[in-house]
Amino acid sequence: MMHTYFFILTAILYLGCALLPSRQRKTISTVVALAWLLHGAALWADVVGPDEVRVGFSMMLSATLWVSVAAYWLENRNYTLDGLRVLVLPTAALTVLLPGLFPGNMVSLVGKSPVFLWHIVISILAYSTLTIAAFHAVLMVLQESRLHTRPGSAHTTWFGAALDRLPALLTMEKILFRLIAFGFLLLTLTVASGVVFSEELFGTAFKWDHKTIFTMLSWALFGLLLIGRKWQGWRGRTALSFTLTGFAILLLAYVGSRFVLEVVLHRVLV
């Protein structure tokens, strides 16, 4: 299919931008924007059909890196994020190819409300944004740990060099909370649409299954973190702990179970 070639071309462009020297800032910005548009178009063509929609862990990962590249591109206009560029773009190049290896399964849209498709799209964007926030939090933990490592005490690896090129921790924290706020908004829309339109979306009344419980718990943790940030000034280790815990619970709600079902158990479920 044509979108398969778009995925391959996107991966090549992402890798090329990761390898370009940082002084070619304008070229990198332009090519990344082009690759991101190709990635989004190919992902939409692969996921959304006339009467069906594809779901699966590989599609989720690809969508996650699509959002991640967008976040990098936007924030790079305000800060110098070469450290993130050499980490995000190669990862995006890899994940953009995963749907070809693990295609997931198709869910029929016949007889479904238009709300169903938008519920899926918003939930994917919510999970993706909060996944990026968790990845960002891990980088901050590693960055802080590296600051306490004495210069010359260990050999500098490629990854260590990338960490050294990240913005200051305060800047990284500002980016983190912007990601969390946006992800929380999307997750709120996901939860609200799932509760209010449950019967219309899924054909059954709202029920408390494992996915719902984990999603609601994650939503509560991220909400509490944003409230604590605004009223108590939470930051640093507290913010990182809440972010990683909230993400781990969200992972249990969807991506983790999908991976086990599709790859380990070779089962296809909606």
Dmax over CA atoms of the chain, in Å, equals 64
* Prediction pTM value: 0.78
Domain boundaries, the chain: 1-111, 113-270
Residue pair 46/54 in contact by the 8 Å Cβ criterion: yes
Under DSSP, the state recorded for 105 is E
Listed residue (127, 143, 158) closest to 63, CA to CA:
127
User: Mind listing the pLDDT tens digit of every residue in the chain (270 residues)?
Assistant: 556 777 888 999 999 998 888 788 889 999 999 999 999 988 888 877 777 777 777 787 888 889 889 988 888 887 777 778 888 899 999 988 887 777 767 777 676 767 777 777 888 888 888 888 888 888 888 888 877 765 554 456 767 777 777 888 888 888 899 999 999 999 999 888 777 666 555 556 556 666 778 888 889 999 999 999 888 887 778 888 888 888 888 877 765 445 444 444 444 444
- For 18-43, give one letter per residue: b (16+ CB within 10 A) or e: bebeeeeeeebeebbeebbebbbebb
Predicted pLDDT of residue 207? 65
